[in-house]
A and B are shown apart, each in its own frame.
Chain A
Amino acid sequence: MTQANGWIGTILRINLTEGSIKKEPLNMQDAHDYVGARGLGTKYYCNEVDPKVDPLSPENKLIFMTGPLTGTAACSAGRYEVVSKAPLTGIIGAANSGGHFGPELKYAGYDGIIFEGKANHPVYLHINDDQVELLDANELWGQGVHETTEALEAKHGKVRVSCIGTPGERCMLFAAIMNDKNRAAGRGGMGAVMGSKNLKAIAVRGTGGVTVARPEGFMNEVTKARTMLKEHPVTGNGLGTFGTEILVNIVNEVGGLPLRNGRDGSYWEQADDTSGERLNETHLVKNQGCFGCSIACGRVTKIEGKGNLDGFGEGPEYEAGWSYGAACGVNDISSIVKANFICNEQGMDPITLGSTVACAMELYEMGAIPEEDIGFPLRFGDAAAMVKLTQMCADGEGFGKTIGLGSYRLAEKYGHPELSMSVKKQEMPAYDGRAIQGIGLEYATSNRGGCHVRGYMISPEVLGIPVKLDPQVTEGKGAMLKTFQDLTALCDSTGMCLFTTFGIGLPEIAGQYREAVGSDETDEEILLKGERIWNLEKRFNMEAGVEKDTLPPRLLREALPSGPAKGKVNELQTMLADYYEARNWTADGIPTPEKLAELNVTY
């Protein structure tokens, strides 16, 4: 039975060691304090798991959590979050995904699922409304994401599937959890945690619904926000027409597109070869939206007449287009699309994978990786070698296994950890922190390691949303980032897509949230929940043993050789001081007891 507040009110607790399935009431106090999805999943996780846990051990837990807006008509509110300790980084991992899986889970009658322990043989969870069962997955083990999804659809009818490919089974450190075939809870290795539990998939069918506290007020807020999205050039036209790849030329124009592992700066003459405009001309079949989404940035793409590159699938997103494009110095768009297909079909994070290949290319070119280790030459710009290595990584073969360690462990193995373009062992995405100062600060302080979606400073620094900041100055970046991080934590936790924040802001997010859950809190009180989530994540990371907030030495010391930001490095220390002050933390970046008390974070 649903509650009239956006929530169903029920959590599934699955102990894989015992094979037990329990339904328990949702903790409504925590749901109030931590919103849902990312925040609530993290709160459950922190309540229940030792921060020192080995991420791939049975003692770790894996939490799937929706938000109060998931499955409603709120803007782009089709998302769910996967929370666990991330094997790639050793700190909190929270990865969210769109598609249709999250809403279906709620329609089946569950706000979230907590997986505990480890099954003694491969299993999958089948949910058909009230009926919940763990079934044998021996026949699915060894299959890719698309095959697994199709097999479960053939067996159970109209189910929505979230699953792992073979890299996840092998606990590869950046294996993703994939739903609806091509949507990814991508970063940090949530797929490896799933694989470590012998859990191949979740197949869910739900016939129930979701209700809200104040129906009329809710639809008023939804209508207002959806109209704003439609009228905004980014959400109403740009992202739907060209996808996130529209950013290639825009970011390159500010000289912020990291080239060849960042070795050759961040301005690329050939950028347009890999742009969203080019993707439209060459491989786009159609744009497509996730559940309830008016933005519809998804790319359905096809490669034809290119021999062994041929294929059909989705993407790439801008970050994957960069990791396989500029980062590897590859300007053949078909090879970029293909490498991304392989990541989707097998469930791997293309940001980490492409960046790791780029790192290996630099190490190879400087002679640090001998050719016999790889088995073939691996120079920047070699599209065929890049695609081959991606497939080898998917299959766990040869040097592909080493790529599967991620760039930090790979670079360390070959004696050059400083050449891993990562923060806290997770690769930074497609924006150079030397050309765009605030995004560098964002990477350094992100609670899940190198990541762009924890406080997307590209929005103000490049796109001018909500105000235009000069990308090359440091002033004001700390305070702006703090606000972005808190707002993002809030947005993620409602079940809405972060991309809505190009067109709407706090009043619209808070407005939809308030009417759904039946709250009379002010916008500021609701934003404070985002800050609470951020501080809880930080506290967990400190207990888990997080590395200090910094950037790869390349960004701090190697000045950009060319482009509009020529001569620049990232001025991290200045911005860090401002940021910690804005957060009301100590000068060393530690949340103060007063701040934690104010936010009521008791961890």
Chain B
Amino acid sequence: MAKQLVVDPKKCVSCRTCELVCSFKHNEEFNPRLSNVSVFHYEDAAITVPIMCMQCDEASCAAICPTGALRRNAQGVIEHDANKCIVCKMCVSACPLGNISYSPAKRMIHKCDLCGGEAWCAKYCPTGAISLVDPDEVPDKKQLAADKLKAAVEEVRA
């Protein structure tokens, strides 16, 4: 089963280390514009959100690709094959989350490949705002809500 990237904006300190290491891993160049993860900072709210490909089960990018350059591999990751890609950019339009990009400078399509399972964005994130986990380990929101309810009941009891 493919591992999954999970983002916790509460922990993000807006340092953009993920952008740096992602661009370097794939291009040997520190260049946030070539990164497959992008960090959005909302100054007034003091909240920062990293965002990247979620490897959708129903992947629009792969569905629309006319040459089969985007395919799911054995680990469940949608891989981009530059040799098959004709850079038509249909995938960029098709992705509902904007997580597949075209670089005008390099004239190439780029997207997250989980670094072959290493996910450098998660590996180098200093605060754990990005983590790579088994889907089974993704924090269950129901569980979190139950935890809160339990705490509230305890408080009332006390």
Residues of A within 8 A of B (CB): 2, 71-73, 100, 107, 181, 207-212, 215, 219, 223, 226, 230, 240, 285-294, 296, 298, 300, 312
Contacts and interface: CB of A to CB of B under 8 A. Distances in A.
Given A73-B24, A107-B33, 14 more contacts: A72-B20, A73-B17, A73-B21, A73-B124, A209-B23, A210-B29, A226-B124, A286-B13, A286-B47, A288-B14, A291-B15, A292-B15, A296-B13, A298-B13
26 contacts: A2-B29, A71-B30, A73-B17, A73-B24, A73-B30, A100-B16, A107-B31, A207-B31, A209-B29, A209-B31, A209-B33, A209-B34, A210-B29, A210-B31, A211-B29, A215-B24, A226-B124, A226-B126, A286-B46, A289-B14, A291-B15, A292-B17, A292-B20, A293-B13, A293-B15, A300-B46
Contact of A285 (B15, B23, B24, B46): B46
B13 A209 contact: no
A486 B26 CA distance: 36
Nearest to A209: B31
Nearest to B17: A292
B28 to A, nearest CB: 5
A210 B15 contact: no
B44 interface: yes
Nearest to B34: A209
Nearest to A76: B15
B27 interface: yes
Given A73-B20, A226-B124, A296-B126, A290 B30 contact: no
Contacts of A230: 126
Interface in B101-137: 105, 124, 126-127
Given A215-B24, A300-B46, A207 B105 contact: yes
Nearest to B24: A73
Contacts of A298: 13
Contact of A288 (B21, B27, B46, B124): B46
Interface of B: 13-17, 20-21, 23-24, 27-34, 43-44, 46-48, 105, 124, 126-127
Contacts of B23: 209
Nearest to B126: A294
A312 B29 contact: no
A208 B32 CA distance: 9
A244 to B, nearest CB: 15
B61 to A, nearest CB: 23
A46 to B, nearest CB: 30
B48 to A, nearest CB: 8
A219 B44 CA distance: 34
